[in-house]
Amino acid sequence: MVVKVYGPIQAACPQRVLACLFEFGVDFELITVDLDSNEHKQPDFLQKQPFGQVPVVEDGEFRLFESRAIIRYYATKYGDKNRNLYGTTLEEKALVDQWLEVEAHHFNDMVYTIVLQKLVIPKMGGRTDFDLVHNCEKKLEQVFDIYEQRLSKNNYLAGNWFTLADLSHLPGIRYLMNECELGHLVRDRKKVNLWWDDISNRPAWKKVMQMFNGQG
Amino acid sequence: MATPPVKVYGPPLSTAVSRVLVCLLEKDVPFQLVPVNMAKMEHKKPDYVKMQPFGQVPAFQDDDITLFESRAICRYLAEKYPNKGTAGLFGTNPLVKASIDQWLEAESQSFNPPSSVLTFQLFFAPLMKLKQDEALIKQNEAKLEKVLDVYENRLGSSRYLAGDEFTLADLSHLPNTQFLVEKTDKAELFTSRKNVGRWWSEISTRPAWKKVVEMQNA
């Protein structure tokens, strides 16, 4: 049975899930949800995801939302295929969870605000709050300084293997490097730069990008 | 008596610290609470930042591991001690665990942001003699109402958020809700919703949480 993933390929959270499914070679079907026409706020969709957000995943009778819960589930389910993605010991797993929380709170909040202000609001006819964008950028500088320190001691955030914690950053950093024009946050930092080049060249992420560019 | 290997750094009044404390108490895991004087910026000093690079509380140590981020610490404790204290905090099979993770993420992404702003604006700001932002309060109250509407619906068909047992997903809501219900005029957000009110009444009267509140009021 093929896993159904509901959400547009352009959105960060569905991309997070797809990257994970590709890492484990899990067959899926992407069912687009049109955010522009508010499809995610319609009763049919709210039945699946009561907060009216993407993605939601249907795996047979089982339904799950929140992208970081979804990737934890599949990394556990297919742990045999790639043990390192969610750690092989209790302590390793705790570090993956820790850096996943860092991405969810310290990193994501800032990126989300920047994307909302620079891309979504103008598209809806509103005005960007550039002060807010600037503040978020400053906070991200601090976050990336911490990442630079961390990555000077380890190849990846949670240790010396690529894990869900690194994967979780892929969609957000892609936005920063492209539409948000804040690539310097990554390029100015030696270790962060190396790390980004490494994780963004993984075959699984490249497959997500192929879909994003309309080729998959 | 031997010193417990588990150390939690930070004041019990901090919502994130109290999240870890209630988990330790639910799991019956002995611990040492190490004070961090935030008024004196101890959490920004090099010794502390070595443990928690973002300079926030809590930091956590157990045997050889140092951890931060309260929800990661809770997951670690629930996994390390599945059969100690309250069992089922993190589920007994992968599907239940996924449901718990889902609602834990919902707490972290949807409930926490507006409830944290309200907690800060309505409880901590007056305490710290800071000016309140009325527009921000109104905006976040509206956001929280929408989240609680989702919870009201969910808790109409499920005793707790992830299912029929108390889990990390419910536990994670205790700190912010305690402040909003007991220390601000926003209790009604919770108590006016029948199912949310019932759920709050059940989870907040658990002995472990009552002990944490005692520690906060000490």
pLDDT tens readout for residues B86-98: 999 998 899 999 9
Q: How confident is the model at residue A215 (pLDDT cuts 50, 70, 90)?
A: low
Share of chain B above pLDDT 70, in %: 100
Does residue A214 lie within any of the structural domains?
Answer: no
Closest chain A residue to B107, measured at CA: A66
Residue B191: predicted pLDDT: 97
A79 and A94 fall within a common domain:
no
Does residue A164 lie within any of the structural domains?
Answer: yes
Does residue A188 lie within any of the structural domains?
Answer: yes
Does residue A208 lie within any of the structural domains?
Answer: no
A24 and A94 fall within a common domain:
no
Q: Is the pLDDT of residue B77 over 60?
A: yes
Mean pLDDT of B80-85: 93
Q: Two tokens at A172? A: 């957000």
Judge whether A176 and A170 are in contact, CB under 8 Å: no
| CATH number of the domain encompassing residue A146 | 1.20.1050.10
Determine the CATH number of domain B6-81: 3.40.30.10
A109 and A188 fall within a common domain:
yes
Q: Give the mutation candidate from A56, A63, A91, A145 for the B interface (greatest B CB count, under 10 A).
A: A91
Distance of alpha carbon B209 from its chain centroid, rounded?
Answer: 10
A71 and A96 fall within a common domain:
no
Which part of chain B has CATH 3.40.30.10? 6-81
Q: Give the mutation candidate from B19, B68, B69, B195 for the A interface (greatest A CB count, under 10 A).
A: B69
A14 and A46 fall within a common domain:
yes
Q: Report the alpha-carbon distance of residue A216 to residue A201 in Å, rounded.
A: 17
Q: Please, which residues bridge with residue A64 across strands?
A: A57
The position carrying tokens 């591991």 is B65
A43 and A94 fall within a common domain:
no
A19 and A71 fall within a common domain:
yes
ipTM field:
0.96
Q: Report the alpha-carbon distance of residue A176 to residue A183 in Å, rounded.
A: 6
Longest CA pairwise span in chain B (Å): 53
Closest CA to A105 of B125, B72, B171, B138: B72
Contacts of A90 in chain B (CB under 8 A): 76, 79-80
Q: Report the alpha-carbon distance of residue A178 to residue B88 in Å, rounded.
A: 44
A109 and A192 fall within a common domain:
yes
Q: Report the alpha-carbon distance of residue B6 to residue B4 in Å, rounded.
A: 5
Contacts of B71 in chain A (CB under 8 A): 97, 101
Helix (H) or strand (E) holding A108: helix A108-115
| Residue A117 C-alpha, separation from nearest chain B C-alpha, in angstroms | 17
Q: Report the alpha-carbon distance of residue B30 to residue B109 in Å, rounded.
A: 30
Domain end: A57, A83, A109, which one?
Answer: A83
Q: Report the alpha-carbon distance of residue B30 to residue A97 in Å, rounded.
A: 23
Q: How confident is the model at residue A70 (pLDDT cuts 50, 70, 90)?
A: very high
Domain end: A65, A83, A101, which one?
Answer: A83
Half-sphere exposure for B173 (CA within 13 Å, toward CB): 29
Does residue A111 lie within any of the structural domains?
Answer: yes
Residue type at A22?
A: F
A60 and A143 fall within a common domain:
no
Q: Is the pLDDT of residue A216 over 60?
A: no
Range of the domain at A24: 3-83
Judge whether B52 and B44 are in contact, CB under 8 Å: no
Closest chain A residue to B99, measured at CA: A64
A207 by DSSP, 3-state: which? helix
Does residue A127 lie within any of the structural domains?
Answer: yes
A10 and A102 fall within a common domain:
no
Worst-scoring range by mean pLDDT, A69-83, B104-118, B145-159? A69-83
* Number of separate domains in chain A: 2
A109 and A178 fall within a common domain:
yes
Identify residues of B whose CB sits under 8 angstroms from chain A CBs: 53-54, 64-65, 67-69, 71-73, 75-76, 79-80, 94-95, 97-99, 101-102, 104-106, 108-110, 113, 147, 150, 153-154
| Residue A180 C-alpha, separation from nearest chain B C-alpha, in angstroms | 22
- Cα-flanking dihedrals φ and ψ of residue A157, to 5°? -60, -45
Distance of CA B140 to CAs A172, B15, B137, B145, B156, Å?
Answer: 24, 18, 5, 8, 24
Closest CA to B104 of B147, B137, B71: B71
Does residue A104 lie within any of the structural domains?
Answer: yes
Taking only the tens place, the pLDDT of each residue in A18-49 is 999 999 999 999 999 999 899 999 999 999 99
Residue B1: predicted pLDDT: 57
Distance of CA B130 to CAs B48, B56, B120, Å?
Answer: 26, 20, 10
Q: How confident is the model at residue A1 (pLDDT cuts 50, 70, 90)?
A: confident
Domain end: A83, A101, A126, which one?
Answer: A83
Residue A81: predicted pLDDT: 87
CATH topology for B94-210 is Glutathione S-transferase Yfyf (Class Pi); Chain A, domain 2 (1.20.1050)
Share of chain A above pLDDT 90, in %: 94
Contacts of A104 in chain B (CB under 8 A): 105, 108-109
Taking only the tens place, the pLDDT of each residue in B182-211 is 999 999 999 999 999 999 999 999 999 999
Q: Report the alpha-carbon distance of residue B183 to residue B186 in Å, rounded.
A: 8
A73 and A108 fall within a common domain:
no
Does residue A46 lie within any of the structural domains?
Answer: yes
Label residue A197 exposed, middle or buried (CB < 10 Å: 0-12, 13-18, 19+).
exposed
Which part of chain B has CATH 1.20.1050.10? 94-210
